[in-house]
Structure 1
Amino acid sequence: MKLLHRTTLALMLTAVGCFSSAQAGISLVGTRVIYPASEREVTVTMNNKGDAPRIVQSWIDDGDANANATAETAKAPFLLTPPLSRVEPGKGQTLRIMFTGGDLPQDRESVYWLNVLEIPPKPSSDTRSYLQFAVRTRVKIFYRPTGLTGDAASAIGQVTWRLVHDKDGMAMECSNGTPFNVSIADVRLKGAPADPSIGKGGLCPAKGRETFPIKGGNDAGRLVYRAIDDYGAYIDGEAAYTR
């Protein structure tokens, strides 16, 4: 289904979470999907808040940025239905996600991505040329095996931090020994103001490490962070770091 092969110009806008752009009519309920391994399926609701119908194409990929996966090429151990739907204005549509099996780690969460691509209808007026936006929303899917030690809510408190230097300057490296992925919205040295020029957010992977660029602030051995829980709520805190 090559929905983007059109005679009009389609501009792809990619974002994580919800859109404030007037071009985006479809919004998802929630900013992430938690898939407990004990469940047969999970559902995600999308709503059309626009004033016109939207054709929506949905798929799941493994997040490999180099693969540049599309609905036709994406690979993931999930079945998603319906892959294509029409959502009327003011109405909603439920997406069903089912794990199809596979050799995934059982000692930690695995991460995949849900993609929702909306294509607005052609203008009703007899317009010879127009710009059409195809907007894609991407949110993480956390596949959560049964029997993991601990809980996701307390994982952020167990992350350790280290101040490092990379090619762009200072960075804060997180080390996550828990089996739960920790979503980070922001991290900076204590006392440093938020800096929009610094890349925001990322994932401190389960049983893994990641670095977050930082800039300025008082190097006094403390940092402040803003994490995101299973429900999309922010968790503000601070922690010590080493060098």
Structure 2
Amino acid sequence: MAFAALAPAHADIQITGTRVIYPADESEVTVQVDNNGRGPRLLQVWTDTGDANETAASSNAPFLVTPPMSRLEPGKGQALRLMFNGADVPKDRESVYWLNVLEIPPRPKGKEGGDNFLQFAVRTRIKIFYRPQGLHGAPLESIGQLTWRLVREGSAASLECTNPTAYNVSFAEVRAEHATREAMPSGGMCPAFGRAAFPVQGEPGKGAGTVLFTAINDYGGFVESRASYSE
């Protein structure tokens, strides 16, 4: 039986920032990536529309990324140029896409790899927020305009968020304040002019209550907030 040498899969390529804000009046936006590992990495970069199964060949996302493939030496960095292709997208709200960075390690040399080995390619995905000009309000203001209600379906409960603003609001955590069981962190996003549901761990109690949530701002910082919800 042949044995494969298995090393832990981890990302040596680090992206500066946790999201990309693309103002519509910019011709391009740059994203910095750095190789913090000990060996070179081959990078493949593409965007997608939200389907993680989309590839560089099948994606319909309205962006061009250059260079689409590159070799990055250890300790070096690379600036990725992200350009909008002028596609017809909503002008009254933010649109959300994803940036994919796939890092492929080199084949092990000599005895380290042998004839049999497993090689892992690690992919990192971060959101791209395409922000049209002239949107009403401001991203931070949208956090305080969210409304919440508790929705029950059988024994399960969820907190439903309604976002009446033109900006998407991302969360690191959403939970009911007085749930009877320790709440597990539940993240996600409430889309512009849309709704999203977040499962409640445990029993939040009957009637109105308080939701505690941690929103994420344009810079990846956390904004802790609380609001009332109805049932």
- Compute the TM-score of the two structures, normalised by the length of structure 1: 0.86
Aligned mate of 1:136, from 108, 123, 127: 123
Displacement after TM superposition at 1:75 (Å): 1.1
Which deviates more from structure 2 when the two are superposed, residues 43-52 or residues 209-218? 209-218
Q: One-letter code of the match for 2:214?
A: R
Q: CA separation of 1:94/1:240 partners in 2, compared to 1, >3 Å: closer, same or farther? A: same
Aligned mate of 1:211, from 174, 194, 197: 197
Instruction: Tell whether the 8 Å contact from 1:188 to 1:194 is kept in structure 2 after alignment.
Output: no
Please state whether the residue corresponding to 1:132 is helix, strand or coil: coil
Q: Which residue of 2 aligns with 1:202?
A: 188
Q: Where does the alignment leave 5 or more consecutive residues of structure 1 unmatched?
A: 1-8, 12-20
Q: Determine whether 1:227 maps to 2:212.
A: no
Q: Determine whether 1:148 maps to 2:173.
A: no
Please state whether the residue corresponding to 1:133 is helix, strand or coil: coil
Q: Determine whether 1:236 maps to 2:224.
A: yes
Displacement after TM superposition at 1:194 (Å): 5.2
The CA distance in 2 between the partners of 1:70 and 1:161, in whole Å, is 36
Please state whether the residue corresponding to 2:60 is helix, strand or coil: coil
The CA distance in 1 between the partners of 2:216 and 2:143, in whole Å, is 9
Superposed, 1:25-40 pairs within 5 Å as 25-40=12-27
Identity of aligned residues (%): 56
Structure 1 stretches (4+) deviating beyond 3 angstroms? 191-196, 217-220
Instruction: Tell whether the 8 Å contact from 2:182 to 2:201 is kept in structure 1 after alignment.
Output: no
Q: State the Cα RMSD in Å.
A: 1.9
- Compute the TM-score of the two structures, normalised by the length of structure 2: 0.90
Q: CA separation of 1:84/1:168 partners in 2, compared to 1, >3 Å: closer, same or farther? A: farther
Displacement after TM superposition at 1:157 (Å): 0.8
Q: Determine whether 1:121 maps to 2:106.
A: yes
Q: Where does the alignment leave 5 or more consecutive residues of structure 2 unmatched?
A: none
Displacement after TM superposition at 1:218 (Å): 4.6
Superposed, 1:7-22 pairs within 5 Å as none
Displacement after TM superposition at 1:195 (Å): 3.4
The CA distance in 2 between the partners of 1:115 and 1:24, in whole Å, is 13
Which deviates more from structure 2 when the two are superposed, residues 21-30 or residues 214-223? 214-223
Q: Determine whether 1:46 maps to 2:39.
A: no
Aligned mate of 1:180, from 167, 171, 175: 167
Instruction: Tell whether the 8 Å contact from 1:180 to 1:205 is kept in structure 2 after alignment.
Output: yes
Which deviates more from structure 2 when the two are superposed, residues 160-169 or residues 100-109? 160-169
